[in-house]
């Protein structure tokens, strides 16, 4: 999952369609991350019911059926089915041989290529930083957003998970609409708008900034603000902004090997999802959640300003 899937699509579709197809494959991954909590709850419930029926039957004892193991067996079964489909002789691999990376250039062309290496390094660095910022911040948000609801709104974990799943459905819809969005906006504009919506979500999560919006019905207003913030982050900002970053990065690599660079891209994002939550946890412990949201909003705001100022250079990188 991740870099391998994206490399497959990046090398099999025309360059101008990469963002569309990367949006589609990301939609499937995003659905697995958020929307399938519905399916997970159903499997957990089914596992509990099956456990009650089979716990006294010695024939089922070796399976150790429980809500957790039943879900694990279902995932294992799905993985085996996917492997059988991929290994099937009838599976159609639509990446033709001529799409494979071309051999390295020699002679005068090699000199011209070497002169572009500095620019290429800059593009890679910028793409990695955009990925680190967006994925790292959403990694913090996954923890703090749920904690906010459970502590300040007295919501249960199940109710909070349901809201996240519904927001994920909206995010998947946006990801599947990238072809239509691409007719209205270019990749750089999608990155800009996605990050702007993420900033709005972080601002709404800061209670010091939303206090003037609260009326006499404190609970209802707080819930409405939190729900708006969740929709902004999971339903619009992150799926649109981050997927546009992936598409921009893939196009900026032009004819260079997609697998290698998308692998580095994915690894940087995974590292950010580890480092950012750890750093935000220390900040929340010694200060408070509002300080964390303020810091994350500041990071994204600086990123947005840089993108706006140098937006033409970002467009030139994928021209």
* pLDDT tens track for 113-136: 555 566 767 777 888 899 899 989
Cβ neighbours of residue 130 closer than 8 Å, sequence gap 6 or more: 191, 245, 248, 249, 303
Separation between Cα atoms, residue 230 and residue 227, nearest integer Å:
5
pLDDT number for residue 107: 45
Helix locations, the chain, DSSP H:
3-10, 18-30, 37-54, 67-87, 108-115, 117-152, 157-176, 178-184, 187-205, 207-210, 218-230, 238-252, 258-286, 289-309, 311-317
For the segment 205-213, the average pLDDT, to the nearest whole number, is: 78
Q: How far is CA 233 from CA 64, 164, 225, in A?
A: 39, 10, 12
Tokens of 207: 């209670």
Q: How far is CA 258 from CA 20, 68, 262, 269, in A?
A: 16, 37, 6, 16
Lowest mean pLDDT among 96-110, 188-202, 262-276: 96-110
pLDDT, one tens digit per residue, over 62-104 is 878 888 788 888 888 888 988 888 787 776 655 544 444 444 4
Tokens of 158: 């199940």
pLDDT number for residue 8: 63
pLDDT number for residue 97: 43
Give me the chain's average pLDDT, please: 79
How many alpha carbons fall within 13 Å on the CB side of residue 311? 13
pLDDT number for residue 117: 61
């Amino acid at each position: 999952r991740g870099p391998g899937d994206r490399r497959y699509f990046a090398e099999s579709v025309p360059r101008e369609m990469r963002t569309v197809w990367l949006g589609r494959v990301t939609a499937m991954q995003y659905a697995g991350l958020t929307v399938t909590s519905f399916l997970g709850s159903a499997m957990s419930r089914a596992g509990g019911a099956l456990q009650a029926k089979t716990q006294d039957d010695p024939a089922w004892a070796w399976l150790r059926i429980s809500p957790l193991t039943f879900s694990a067996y279902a995932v294992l079964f799905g993985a085996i089915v996917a492997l059988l489909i991929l290994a099937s002789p009838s599976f159609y691999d639509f990446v033709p041989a001529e799409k494979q990376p071309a051999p390295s250039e020699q002679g005068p062309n090699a000199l011209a290529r070497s002169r572009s290496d500095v620019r290429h390094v800059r593009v890679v660095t910028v793409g990695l930083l955009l990925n680190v910022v967006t994925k790292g911040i959403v990694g913090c948000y996954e923890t703090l957003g749920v904690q906010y609801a459970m502590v300040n709104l007295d919501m249960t974990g199940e109710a909070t998970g349901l809201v996240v799943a519904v927001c994920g459905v909206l995010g998947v819809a946006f990801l599947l609409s990238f072809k239509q969005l691409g007719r209205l906006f270019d990749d750089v504009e999608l990155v800009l708008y996605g990050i702007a919506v993420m900033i709005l979500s972080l601002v709404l999560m800061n209670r010091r900034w939303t206090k003037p919006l609260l009326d006499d019905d404190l609970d209802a207003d707080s819930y409405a603000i939190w729900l708006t913030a969740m929709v902004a982050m999971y339903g619009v900002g992150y799926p649109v902004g981050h997927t546009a970053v992936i598409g921009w990065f893939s196009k900026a690599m032009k004819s260079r090997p997609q697998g290698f660079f998308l692998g580095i891209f994915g690894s940087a994002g995974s590292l950010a999802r580890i480092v950012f939550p750890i750093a935000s946890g220390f900040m929340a412990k010694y200060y408070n959640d509002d300080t964390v949201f303020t810091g994350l909003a500041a990071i994204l705001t600086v990123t947005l300003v840089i993108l706006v100022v140098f937006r033409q250079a970002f467009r030139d990188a994928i021209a």
